[in-house]
Structure 1
Amino acid sequence: MTATNTLPVFSLHRGSLPLLISIPHLGTRIPADIAGTMTPVAQSTDDCDWHLDRLYAFAKRMGASILAPTYARYVIDLNRPPDGANLYPGQDTTGLLPVDTFDKEALYLEGHLPDETEVARRREAYWKPYHEALANELAALKARHGNVLLWEAHSIRSQVPRFFEGRLPDFNFGTSNGASAAAGLGEELAAVVERHGGYSAVANGRFKGGYITRQYGQPSQGVHAVQLELSQITYMQEERPYAYDETLAAQVEPLLEELVATALERVKAC
């Protein structure tokens, strides 16, 4: 699926397992017409979930379906409700069309903030196709296998004072307080990390799962959704140019694979 005069909105690799990995903040592209209204800082796409396609390369080998967008969250945030409602009432957050970075730097030139017409246009051109692909792939996997695991892959800098104090735990699992997946699955995954050693973990802490986890995770209907917000300090350089760290990544990749496999086996057994 493509938006007008642009590259494909998303890529979808179809696998053989009842497993879909969604990486909604992987994209880095900004269409020229939108970029022309934005500040220079926007071009760095600082708040991207960097390198997760590389870190999760094992998932394709194991047979997962993988869905990822082309365009940056600065164009539109695919993990926000279509009406832009705050998923964490009372807490600061960025919206459906972010207007500033995580460090509160302005993304738009003065006088160029998107109006409601532009919000609707981007929702139709970028948000809707991704969610249609997500829903359709989940439906196909469910029809083929019965139960399905939706793994929401995210990452974030280890310290973002705007959203949380101090350093974030390394592995942050969200299951919407247990509503989006099998009972206790988030806690079980956190326990796997703790047994592994070397990393910290929490279930349903600061990050409980975004819109995708909450919307599509319906364990009573056979779809179990888990979000992992991984601290970027575990696998990459957190400052520009956001380089992938081969040594760090080689240590965290086997644990990621074990976590995905653990969740998948639990879902299959439901």
Structure 2
Amino acid sequence: MEFTALFAELIAAEALMLKLFLGGIFGLCLGLTGVGGGVLLIPMLQRCCDMPPVLAVGTASLIATMVKVNASIAHVKAKNVSWKTVSMLFVGALPLTYSVTQLVVYFNSHHLYANITQQVVTTLILLIMVVSLISVLLKSRKNKTQSLIHIEQPLASKKALLSGVFCGSIIGSTGVGGGVLLIPILNSVLNVNIKKSIGSSVILALFLSGVTALGYAKGGQTDVTTALIFLTGSFLGVPVASHLMKKLSDNSIYKITISVIFVSLLFYTLT
């Protein structure tokens, strides 16, 4: 009995250390590239913590919300936020984020639709990751052929609102979008420079992930204990990322962002 209890304690300690480590990796990637919320967390939670897709989405949304408070403060201090763009996207995204979250939780709780809901969420996450990787790659190549001085164009309000509607529906249904979706839209569609795209995506995703997390939590699709452990681990990663951000060029950040999305995509396909 003593051996069994000791073994159980060792397994629990190992699981705790793994979650703390994964939280640190998440915090570093989030602070440095804006990518991390669904793209990194969902594969981590499904593969390393053995969670089903919808529970992973709900837990990832809660972790992302808590961690992005710290990351948001860092980006605001560094003046890496386009506030007007964030506001327009938020107005378009909020209604869809809330509505779609409620639909996913409802259908997942219904025994006739639970399996198909899990499959649809999984497929959507994969598609968004692939499209976002292609988008960032194309923008990176375009950036190399242009002047290093980035001139931001006037914000197209209608385009920003429609982009917000699209982002809201994806974030609400998959938990993916904080960096992997918002950064390409901010950078490629709305022509915000890469550093402000990252900072703006973190601020916007903070609010939208909060709405998503609340909806999934109400439906019982959140592992609060795991979320708190990941949050603790992230406190080591975010400050390091903030320090590195000041020293890296736009092209370097593009390369890191592409690498993070690509590795996450590979990891996700193995779940």
Q: Which has the higher contact order (CA 8 A, sep 6+)?
A: 2
> TM-score scaled to structure 1, two decimals?
0.26
From the two aligned structures, give the one with the greater strand fraction: 1
